Amino acid sequence: MIDKVFTLTSLEPMTPYAPNYKYFITRAIWNETKKIDKIKKYLLSKEKHILQNINFNNDGGTGLSTKDLTSRHSNYNVFDFSEELPELNDLHNFLKKTYLEYIKISNTQEYKLKINCWFNVLRKGQRMKMHTHGGHSWSYLSGNIHLDNYHTQTSYQFIDKFVTLDNVKGGLAIFPNVISHETNEYKDDEPRVSIAFDLHIETAQNLTEDVQYKDFNE
């Protein structure tokens, strides 16, 4: 499933204080276009309800306003809608399979996880500023998947290393959530819809009561 693998690696450190890291960014394609179309249509139909009924928290450093869905990213979970839209279960399964492939590529262990999952809608003239989802002792993985082919890109950065990916339909990126990322300006007329998520180790002490987590591995 994973068709692109990028490795961000530091130079050999010459002192104890120099950066020392090896991070992976992967891209996989979910080819279920009809299911993606249904999910996109459904989520857009939910946008107004979420904006009116779910309190905003913060924009996650994206530079978007409290009038945008992104500011409610921790106060609901996309997978709560799975009973209304079974295709979300198929998406969940795709995320799990891609995660398992990711940890094989990165040669890291599998964890029992919780997922916080939300969706973003950008309209003409909007962009997401450079931001990060983590940077703590319990930081793990994040991801995003785009629900159509968009004339935008997402750029990922850690210190002086960069990776840029086109935002294509069904394109799922997984990356360590310490990595900063941004989008360029969206210039088309139709809404740009993406789904984003954070994976958290279930035993981490940081799990916040007001964040809407769901079991990921089940």
Domains and CATH numbers, the chain: 2-10+34-215 (2.60.120.620)
Between residues 209 and 142, the one the model is more confident about: 142
Cα torsion 170, 70, 217, 153 to 10°: value is 30
Quote the CA–CA distance of 119 and 195 in Å, as a whole number: 4
Taking the model in full, what pTM does it have? 0.95
Q: Could you say which DSSP state residue 30 is in? A: -
Asked if the model's pLDDT at residue 124 lies above 80, the reply is yes
Region 30-43 average pLDDT: 98
pLDDT of amino acid 69: 93
Give the number of other Cβ atoms within 10 Å of residue 56's Cβ. Answer: 17
pLDDT of amino acid 208: 61
